[in-house]
Homo-oligomer: A and B are copies of this chain.
Amino acid sequence: MKKILSFDIGGTKIAYAVINDKGEFFTKVSKQSTPKTAEGIAALLRETISKYEQEIDGVAISTAGAVNNANTGIINNPGNLPEGYGQTDFQGLSSKPVFVENDANSAGWAEYVLGAAKGMRNTVVLTLGTGVGAGIIIDGCLLKGKSGGAGEMHFKIDCQHRMCTCGLEDCLEAYVSGNGLAAEARISFADKNATSYDVIEGLKNNNPAAREAFDRWQGHLLDGLIAVGNLFDPEIVVLSGSLAQFVEYEKLEKIANERILTEPFKLREAVFKNDAGMLGAAMLMFHKNNTLK
C-alpha cells in the first residue's frame, strides 16, 4: 500500500501526517507554528520529510495561495505567509515526488472523494473562515482555470463599500467570511470592537442584536449560494471552516432552491474539519499520479 506524507501549510500552523490511498492516517497529525521566514518554512519541511522519506512514496502539500496547474509551485505569494514563500522550490525538498495544491481545493477534493459530497461529480465546497475559499469540482475534475487560480470568491455581491482583502470593495468574501460576520457585529452591537465571537455567544443567549447580525450575514451567504447554484448547477454545496457549524442548513437550502433557475442542490456541512487539506492533497496526488496508486 502506497503512503504519502501530507502537509497543510497555513499562516499560523503547519500540520502533517502520513496518509494512504484509502485516506487512512498512518500517523497522528503533528502541528507546529509556521516559521516567520520562507527559509524557515522550507527548513521545517525538509527536516520533517527527511524523517519519513524512507517509508513514503511521495509528499503532498496543501497550502494557502493559488497553485499552478502542474502542481509544482505557487503563483502569487499568499498574504498570510512570509515574503519569498511563493517561490519555494517544493520538489527540491525531497527525493520523492512532491505534489502541491491550494488548501481550499484540497479540502474540496477531500469532501468529494470521502466526505459530504462523496461521488457527486458537480460539487462546490466553500470554506468560511477568516476569509472564504472555494474548491469546485466540475464533472469530477477540480476547477483550476488556465493558471490554477480559479475559484476566487471575489465578485461584487452588495453595495456597502465594505473593503475586501483583495483590495476591491463589496466582494462575496467581505460579507460571508468571519471578517464579514465581525462587520455585522459592529453594526448590530453599535460597538467598533464587537467580533464574530460576540455574535455566536449572543445567539446562544437569544440576544436580538446578535440574531440580527447573524441573519444579515446568513442573508449574504444565501446570495452566494444562489450565485454558485445558478453558475455551476452543482449536486451539492458543502460548507466548511469555522463558521460552517452555525449555518441553518435546511432553511438556506430551501430558500436558495426556490430562487435559482437551475435544478435543486443539497446544502450540507463538511465532514472533515482541520485535516481536510492534508487529506485532500494526498488523495488528489494519488488520483493524478498513477505511479503512486
Contact = CB atoms under 8 A, between A and B. Distances in A.
Interface residues of A, number: 44
A159 B159 CA distance: 6
A148 interface: yes
A164 B167 CA distance: 29
Contact of A156 (B122, B157, B260): B157
B168 A226 contact: yes
Interface in A143-170: 143-159, 166-168
B75 A154 contact: no
Contacts of A159: 158-159
Interface in A223-252: 223, 226-227, 230-235
A154 B234 contact: no
Interface string A57-93: 0000000001000000001100000000000000000
B156 A223 contact: yes
Contacts of A45: none
Most buried by B among A75, A145, A151, A154: A145
Contacts of A36: none
Contacts of A223: 155-156
B260 A154 contact: yes
Interface in A176-192: none
A227 B157 CA distance: 10
A232 B263 contact: no
Interface string A99-125: 000000000000000000000111000
5 contacts: A122-B146, A138-B145, A149-B233, A150-B231, A156-B157
